[in-house]
Amino acid sequence: DIQMTQSPSSLSASVGDRVTITCRASRSISSYLNWYQQKPGKAPKLLIYAASSLQSGVPSRFGGSGSETDFTLTISSLQAEDFATYYCQQSHSTPGTFGQGTKLEIK
């Protein structure tokens, strides 16, 4: 199975900050990398697919980059509604493993 490792596990930031979350795959997954946002008590929401494609309706302050084994999710200017947990997920092969999550908290 492909292992997905996110860093950091938690992050404190302020509104307006630029934030970067990284995700590393245990072997190459090309660009089969997706990012999700989850708020407490809610289902996850797709933000980015295929490493860098923005899902319809997602604000442009969210961006994704990377390929092969190293990927990043960047939020260019944090808004209050962005404080949540973020997960990466590889869809290169079954099982479609998720990273352990990054909890983004208000500083």
The residue ranges that bind other proteins (CB under 8 A) are 1, 32, 34, 36, 38, 43-46, 49-50, 55, 87, 89, 91-101
- For residues 17 and 65, which CB has a smaller minimum distance to other proteins in the complex? 65
Q: Are 56 and 65 in contact (CB under 8 A)?
A: no
Q: Are 18 and 11 in contact (CB under 8 A)?
A: no
In whole angstroms, the minimum distance from the beta carbon of 14 to other proteins comes to 25
In whole angstroms, the minimum distance from the beta carbon of 60 to other proteins comes to 18
Give the integer Cα–Cα distance in Å for 39 and 79: 14
Rounded to an integer, what is the distance from CA 38 to the centroid of its chain?
Answer: 10
- For residues 14 and 94, which CB has a smaller minimum distance to other proteins in the complex? 94
Cα angle 54, 58, 61; round to 5:
80
In whole angstroms, the minimum distance from the beta carbon of 106 to other proteins comes to 20
- Which amino acid makes up residue 104? L
- For residues 20 and 96, which CB has a smaller minimum distance to other proteins in the complex? 96
In whole angstroms, the minimum distance from the beta carbon of 87 to other proteins comes to 6
